[in-house]
Amino acid sequence: MFKRFSGKWNITFTKTQVACVAAGFLLYALIEISSAMGFGSGLSGAGLKRAAPGQGETTYELQITGLNKDEENKKIPVKIPVREKRYTKEEAKKIFEKIKPQLEIQMLGENASLLEIRKNLNLISKLSNYGIKINWETDNAELVDSLGTVHNEQINEAGEPVTIIARASDGTEEFTYRFHLMVYPPIRTAQEKAENEFLTWAEKEDQKQQTDDYLQLPNDYEGHSLTYSFQEDNSHRLFPFLGVFMALLLHVKVSTDKQNQEKKREQQLLLDYSEVISKLLVYIGAGLTVRGAWERIVAGYDSSVKEGKRKIRPVYEEMKKTASQLGSGVSESRAFGEFGRRCSLQPYLKLSALLEQSQKNGSRQLRHALELEMISAFEQRKNMAKRLGEEAGTKLLFPLFLMLGVVMAMIVLPAFLSFY
């Protein structure tokens, strides 16, 4: 970020850094604007706003100027609790009259009418819009309990009456509602009726045979022969599809890993190119032939790997193969050409072409060509290092914005919540 050239500091910024700074200033501006407009302060010409009935107490953090007589301009932080709003008697009466039709509709649940209850009721405990709490009672808890559960499996088709009492309160005033219901048995299909009757019979038989190790089921029931089997577990049928899916995933993984390895190999080849050129230039400048310089580089790499001083690098492995070819009698021109084709990158193809040319035209101009190539190689390496750094910064961009979102939520949400 800070670089020094010829005694002066040169400051550079990446796109990620600029984006973070801009986002910080943008959040600051938004909060300043909302504060200037009065959002989140809770202050108005009428004073501190109360929460709606049932929303609880609101605490405002204010800075008051003038409390201290000695220092009138000093701001003193004070926390002022403000109770929730309370209905007047007239307001509460109107609210209680208004919510009765809503209670009737909501408590029905999936039932069509209060005079035909066959399924569970929906007995809510609170009306948040009005800040009213409701307690439920019933005169027959065995048939309909205070939670709204209907136990109508054993009643007859004529039905049974039940009275539900709802006691609504806003914290001060209380109002009582009475709802008269008729509860009927659930509507069942022929299959459900037969199943229910058989389960009732099985329950009685289970009580009779409770001292036995097994419950004996009848072979005949109401004139019909019965057969029994456990429900099949068909989950294993998914295994072939899972196998195919895993095979596809494995194929994708192998392909992705291969692409990543090839990309990593190309990056390592490009990063090592300037090093290979500089070593060739040094050894050839010292008077060695191209082949001698090549073999000296390979020997130095082998000893460094064996001693654990450096890791295996693809370009030197390719150079080892070329050195083996030269040792087995392959011509230098052919060996260097195959080296460039195995690396299959433009810089190495150019290097192999220079080395092949030197075999035909002599090595007089090779040193000058390698010097020019070394300058180009170091420039390429610098550009590549810069690009890799930008890619790493881009990968960090998502977690940075995620952290920024968390900070924004921590700052902005309390302000807006205190306003509401």
Q: Do the Cβ atoms of 20 and 404 come closer than 8 Å?
A: yes
* Of residues 340, 367, 381, the one with CA closest to residue 283: 367
Separation of alpha carbons 117 and 76, rounded Å: 62
What amino acid is encoded at 411 in this protein?
A: I
**Rounded Cα–Cα distance for residues 98 and 329 (Å):** 104
Half-sphere exposure of 341 (CA within 13 A, CB side): 7
| Contact indicator for 142, 154 with CB cutoff of 8 Å | no
Question: Structural domain boundaries of the chain?
Answer: 89-183, 261-396
pLDDT score at 40: 46
The amino acid present at 78, given as its one-letter code, is V
Q: What is the largest CA-CA distance in the chain?
A: 116
Do 95 and 170 form a contact (C-beta atoms < 8 A)?
yes
Q: Would you state the torsion angle of the CA atoms of residues 43, 48, 54, 58, taken in this order, to the nearest 10 degrees?
A: 80
Contact 78, 64 (CB under 8 A): yes
Q: Is the CB of residue 284 less than 8 Å from the CB of residue 291? A: no
pLDDT of the residue at 5: 42
For residue 14, what pLDDT is reported?
67
Q: What angle do CA 262, 391, 309 make, to 5 degrees?
A: 60
3-state per-residue secondary structure call for the chain: CEEEECCEEEECCCHHHHHHHHHHHHHHHHHHHHHHCCCCCCEECCEECCCCCCCCCEEEEEEEECCCCCCCCCEEEEEEEECCCCCCHHHHHHHHHHHHHHHHHHHHCCCCECCEECCCCCCCCEECCCCEEEEEEECCCCCECCCCCECCCCCCCCCEEEEEEEEEECCCCEEEEEEEEEECCCCCCHHHHHHHHHHHHHHHHHHHCCCCCCCCCCCEECCEECCCCCCCCHHHHHHHHHHHHHHHHHHHHHHHHHHHHHHHHHHHHHHHHHHHHHHHHHHHHCCCCHHHHHHHHHHHHHHHHHCCCCCCCHHHHHHHHHHHHHHCCCCHHHHHHHHHHHHCCHHHHHHHHHHHHHHHHCCCCHHHHHHHHHHHHHHHHHHHHHHHHHHHHHHCHHHHHHHHHHHHHHHHHHHHHHHC
pLDDT at residue 418, as a whole number: 67
The per-residue pLDDT for 395 is: 76
Q: Per-residue pLDDT for the chain (420 aa), expressed as one digit of tens each?
A: 444 444 444 555 566 667 777 777 887 777 777 655 554 444 545 477 777 776 767 777 777 776 766 676 777 787 778 777 777 778 878 888 888 888 888 888 888 888 888 888 888 888 877 788 889 888 888 888 888 888 887 788 888 899 888 888 887 888 888 888 888 888 777 776 777 777 777 787 788 877 777 877 777 777 777 776 777 767 767 777 777 788 888 888 888 888 888 888 888 888 888 888 888 888 888 888 888 888 888 888 888 888 888 888 888 888 888 888 888 888 888 888 888 888 888 888 888 888 888 877 766 678 888 888 888 888 888 888 888 777 777 777 788 888 888 888 888 787 777 665
**pLDDT of res. 394:** 77
Find all residues with CB under 8 Å of 134, minimum gap 6, and list them: 103, 123, 124, 125, 126, 127, 166, 167, 168, 169
> Tell me: the pLDDT tens digits for 355-402?
888 877 766 678 888 888 888 888 888 888 888 777 777 777 788 888
**How far, in Å, CA of 417 to CA of 102, rounded?**
29
- At residue 12, the pLDDT reads 58
pLDDT for position 11:
53
Beta bridge partners of 61: 79
Report pLDDT for 42.
45
